[in-house]
Amino acid sequence: MEYTRRRHTIKRDINSLEEIYPHDVQLYQTPPTGEVELSEFQELAVERVKVLQLVESIIARTDLKNSEARRTALHQDLKKNGFTYYAKLLNGQGCSSHSDIELQARRRDHISHFILTLAYSQNMEFQKWFSINEVEFFKWRFSGLNKEGIIKLLILNNFNYTPISQCEKDELRDLLHISTLSVNNIDTTDFYKLPFQNVIDLIRSRKVYLNKGMAYIPQKELVSIFVTYFKRHLKSQFNYASECLENISNDMRISSFLKNLPNCFTGMTRVVWSTTSTPIEKLDELSQSSYPLCMRTLHETLRTNHHLKHSGRLQYGLFLKGIGISLKNAERFWREEFTKVMDIDKFEKQYSYTIRHAYGKEGKHTNYTPYGCNKIINTTVASGEYHGCPYKHMNIDVLRKKLLNIGMSIADVQEITTLSTGGHYLLACTKYFEFVHKSPPSHTFMHPNGYFVESQEILTNRGNSKADVASAENSNRLPAIKRQKTKSIAEEDHDMLF
- Binding site feature residues for [4Fe-4S] cluster: 294, 373, 389, 429
Residue 133 exposure: Cα atoms within 13 Å on the Cβ side = 25
What are the C-alpha distances in Å from 169 to residues 144, 188, 214? 25, 11, 14
> SS3 of 20, please?
helix
For residues 397 and 402, give the distance between their C-alpha atoms in angstroms, rounded to a whole number. 9
395 contacts: CB under 8 Å, gap ≥ 6: none
Phi and psi of 314, rounded to 5°? -65, -50
Q: Which amino acid is at 36?
A: V
Query: Rounded distance, CA 163 to CA 215, Å?
Result: 11
Rounded to whole angstroms, how far apart are CA atoms 320 and 14? 55
Task: Give the Cα separation of 245 and 94 in Å (integer).
Answer: 32
Geometric angle at alpha carbon 272, from 46 and 426, rounded to 5°: 60
Any idea of the CA torsion for 403, 404, 410, 411, to the nearest 10 degrees? -20
Q: Show binding-site residues.
A: 294, 373, 389, 429
* Beta bridge partners of residue 4, listed in sequence order: 37
Q: In what order do the strands lie in the sheet with 162-163?
A: 162-163, 191-195, 214-218, 209-211
What whole-number distance in Å separates Cα of residue 35 and Cα of residue 401? 55
DSSP 336-378: HHHTTTS-HHHHHHHTHHHHHHHTTSSTT-----PPPHHHHHT
Q: Which of 85, 93, 1 is nearest to 41 (CA)?
A: 1
Amino acid (1-letter code) at residue 213:
G
Residue 442 to residue 61: CA distance in whole angstroms? 8
Angle formed at CA 84 by CA 60 and CA 257, multiple of 5 degrees: 75
The residues near 122 (Cβ < 8 Å, ≥ 6 apart) are: 242, 245, 259, 262
Contacts (Cβ under 8 Å, ≥6 apart) of 155: none
**Please, what's the b/e burial string for 235-269 (b: 16 or more CB within 10 A of its CB; e: otherwise)?**
eebbeebeebbeeeeeeeebbebbbebbbbbbbbb
